[in-house]
């Protein structure tokens, strides 16, 4: 389609031809809002409130402690892990839903350190979402200086791997730029040097096909509250390849990871399966809602999700670059859709007030310091006409200098 014919009607026609469009109906979004922040907190599935009500009133209120068995609370981390596994290219028994991404990363990095006792270095991406690097630094500190963290940028990672590398722990899709790392190539490079490959899937799970098994990944972690729509603070997931299960202790040896949790033995004996990565009692209310989001994903085809995601982000880039030309936006994501996750970032010196003005106009994206405005596109509930309307509102804000108003200069705690 040429630019002359690209108008709102053309976008509506794309929506009409979109096989995923009916899934929009399974989400509740405020009227008039264009939600481009599903990469930070996914939208609420319509079934979430009813499910929460049922867990609170029936499972908890009426059945009380019996629900650990009768409602399957105790097995929920493993059952949801098995349900999530196909979206990650993992086998049954390789994924568990529990705790937070930060906590799960601590567990798998520590397991990796234990699996490579003769090696010293953990490699991470310096510009990654900082918690990953902070956690790795904590893991290293806990070894009393035996292990160190080396921070590299994307083009330096392959060369940094050597016979002293314990593991490479990279976020598959970069949180800020949206750059997609080559999971197969980095995993193969790490393993050729005898190192392990650990993947953070926070910005890929539910947004694009992931093939942990096909890439022979060792461990992975990720959250369920972004593209998987599990709800604020919903439990994360942890993948451990079958071959590593029962091979090394993760250090948070709580009773849910014990071989016989209800034997109440004085000494720790690990499970020899994925449950060795559990710690203790899980937030059942929050975890139950993960299933509502997962069920929508399982009704959709992941290749269709990826195809639509690439089309939405291509359209957004094209519209911003043409309709906001001269307003100082510089693309900060890969231009090639195949190298880009489901988000688009632009650098702009006045990114913060511009994003505030956009949010006030009902277009929800976010700002990442120092100068990045970031837009996530969840194909399950964002359409092509939404992209048109979002850019339309941006044009109004830029052409009318609306972002210069004093109320858009104030900083909130969470951006």
Smaller CB distance to ligand PLP: residue 166 or 236?
236
Contact 31, 362 (CB under 8 A): no
Q: Does 129 bind ligand PLP (CB under 6 A)?
A: yes
Identify whether 374 is a catalytic site residue. Answer: yes
Applying CB under 6 A, does 127 fall inside the site for ligand PLP?
no
- Contact yes or no for 169/122 (Cβ under 8 A): yes
CB of 340 to ligand PLP, least distance (A): 16
C-beta of residue 97 within 8 angstroms of C-beta of residue 224: yes
| Least distance (Å) between residue 127 CB and ligand PLP | 11
Residue 116: CB atoms within 10 A of its CB come to 20
- Quick check: 100 binds ligand PLP (CB under 6 A)? yes
For 248, half-sphere exposure in the C-beta direction (CA atoms, 13 angstrom radius) is 19
In angstroms, rounded to a whole number, what is the distance separating the alpha carbons of residues 178 and 374?
Answer: 9
- The answer to whether 203 contacts ligand PLP (rule: CB under 6 A) is yes
| Min dist. Cβ of residue 280 to ligand PLP (A) | 17
Which residue number, 75 or 182, has a Cβ lying nearer to ligand PLP?
182
Question: Which of these is catalytic: 26, 150, 226, 308?
Answer: 226
Among the residue ranges 13-21, 123-131, 139-147, 398-406, the one whose residues contact ligand PLP (CB under 6 A): 123-131
What's the CA gap between 327 and 394, in Å, rounded?
10
Distances (CA, A) of 59 to 52, 69, 71, 130: 10, 10, 7, 38
Catalytic residue flag (residue 200):
yes
> Residue from 133, 171, 187, 378 that binds ligand PLP (CB under 6 A)?
171
Rounded CA Rg of the chain? 22
List 307's β-bridge partners, or say none: none
Distance CA 97, CA 230 (A): 11
226 has catalytic annotation: yes
Does position 310 interact with ligand PLP (CB under 6 A)? The reply is no
Contact 322, 315 (CB under 8 A): no
The reply on whether position 223 binds ligand PLP by CB under 6 A is: yes
If one asks whether residue 239 binds ligand PLP (CB under 6 A), the answer comes out as no
Q: How far is the CB of 220 from ligand PLP (least distance, A)?
A: 12
Whichever of 223 and 357 has its CB closer to ligand PLP, that residue is: 223
Contact between 207 and ligand PLP by CB under 6 A: the answer reads no
Element (H, E) at 48: helix 47-54
SS3 call for 367: strand
Which of 18, 59, 125, 200: binder of ligand PLP (CB under 6 A)? 200
Q: Does 378 bind ligand PLP (CB under 6 A)?
A: no
Residue 128 or 276: which CB sits closer to ligand PLP? 128
Q: Any bridge partners for residue 364, and if so which?
A: 35
Residue 202 touches ligand PLP, criterion: CB under 6 A: yes
Is 352 one of the catalytic residues?
Answer: no
Q: Which stretch binds ligand PLP (CB under 6 A): 17-25, 129-137, 353-361, 397-405?
A: 129-137
Surface-to-core class of residue 384, CB atoms within 10 Å of its CB (0-12 exposed, 13-18 middle, 19+ buried):
buried
Q: Which of 23, 36, 77, 101 binds ligand PLP (CB under 6 A)?
A: 101
Pick one of 29, 72, 114, 131: the residue that binds ligand PLP (CB under 6 A): 131
Question: Residue 107 catalytic?
Answer: no
By beta-carbon proximity to ligand PLP, the closer residue of 225 and 403 is: 225
Angle at 364 between CA 359 and CA 366, to 5 degrees: 95
Catalytic residue, candidates 106, 219, 225, 346: 225
Question: Taking the complex as a whole, how short is the minimal distance between the CB of residue 173 and ligand PLP, in angstroms?
Answer: 9
Helix, strand, or coil (residue 229): coil
Rounded Cα distance, 374 and 351, in Å: 9
* Structural contact between residues 59 and 52, judged by C-beta atoms closer than 8 angstroms: no
Return left, alpha or beta for 144; rule: phi > 0 is left, psi -120 to 50 is alpha, else beta.
left
Q: Which of 27, 106, 129, 375 is catalytic?
A: 129
Q: How far apart are the two ends of the chain, measured CA to CA in Å?
A: 36
Q: Using CB under 6 A, which of the segments 197-205, 244-252, 311-319, 370-378 binds ligand PLP?
A: 197-205
Residue numbers at the binding site for ligand PLP (CB under 6 A):
100-102, 128-129, 131-132, 171, 175, 200, 202-203, 223, 236
Which residues are identified as catalytic? Answer: 129, 200, 225-226, 374
């Amino acid at each position: 389609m040429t630019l002359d014919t690209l108008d709102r009607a053309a976008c509506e026609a794309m929506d009409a031809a979109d096989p995923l469009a009916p899934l929009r109906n399974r989400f509740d979004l405020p009227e008039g809002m264009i939600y481009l922040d599903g990469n930070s907190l996914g939208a609420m599935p319509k079934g979430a409130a009813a499910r929460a009500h049922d867990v609170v009133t029936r499972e908890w209120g009426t059945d009380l402690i019996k629900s650990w068995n009768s409602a399957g609370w105790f097995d929920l981390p493993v059952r949801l892990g098995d349900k999530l596994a196909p979206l990650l290219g993992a086998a049954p028994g390789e994924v568990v839903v529990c705790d937070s991404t930060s906590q799960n990363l601590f567990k798998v990095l520590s397991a990796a350190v234990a699996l490579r006792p003769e090696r010293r270095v953990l490699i991470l991406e310096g510009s990654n979402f900082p918690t990953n690097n902070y956690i790795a630094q904590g893991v290293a500190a806990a070894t009393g200086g035996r292990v160190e963290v080396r921070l590299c940028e994307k083009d330096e990672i392959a060369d940094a791997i050597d016979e002293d590398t314990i593991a490479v722990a990279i976020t598959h899709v970069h949180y800020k730029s949206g750059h997609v790392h080559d999971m197969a190539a980095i995993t193969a490079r790490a393993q050729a040097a005898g190192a392990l490959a650990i993947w953070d899937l926070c910005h890929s799970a539910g947004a694009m096909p992931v093939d942990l098994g096909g890439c022979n990944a060792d461990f992975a972690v990720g959250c369920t509250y972004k593209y998987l729509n599990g709800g604020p603070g919903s439990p994360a997931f942890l993948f451990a390849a079958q071959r590593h299960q029962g091979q090394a202790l993760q250090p948070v040896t709580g009773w849910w990871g014990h071989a016989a949790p209800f034997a109440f033995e004085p000494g720790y004996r690990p499970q020899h399966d994925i449950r060795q990565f559990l710690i203790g009692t899980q937030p059942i209310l929050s975890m139950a809602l993960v299933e509502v989001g997962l069920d929508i994903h399982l009704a959709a085809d992941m290749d269709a999700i990826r195809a639509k995601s690439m089309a939405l982000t291509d359209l957004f880039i094209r519209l911003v670059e043409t309709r906001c030309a001269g307003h100082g936006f510089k693309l900060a994501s890969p231009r090639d859709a195949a190298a880009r996750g489901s988000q688009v970032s632009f650098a702009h010196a006045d990114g913060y007030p511009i994003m505030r003005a956009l949010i006030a106009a009902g277009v929800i994206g976010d700002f990442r310091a120092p100068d990045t405005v970031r837009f996530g596109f969840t194909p399950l509930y964002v359409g092509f006409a939404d992209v048109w309307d979002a850019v339309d509102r941006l044009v109004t804000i830029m052409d009318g200098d609306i972002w210069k108003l004093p109320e858009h200069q104030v900083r909130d705690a969470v951006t």
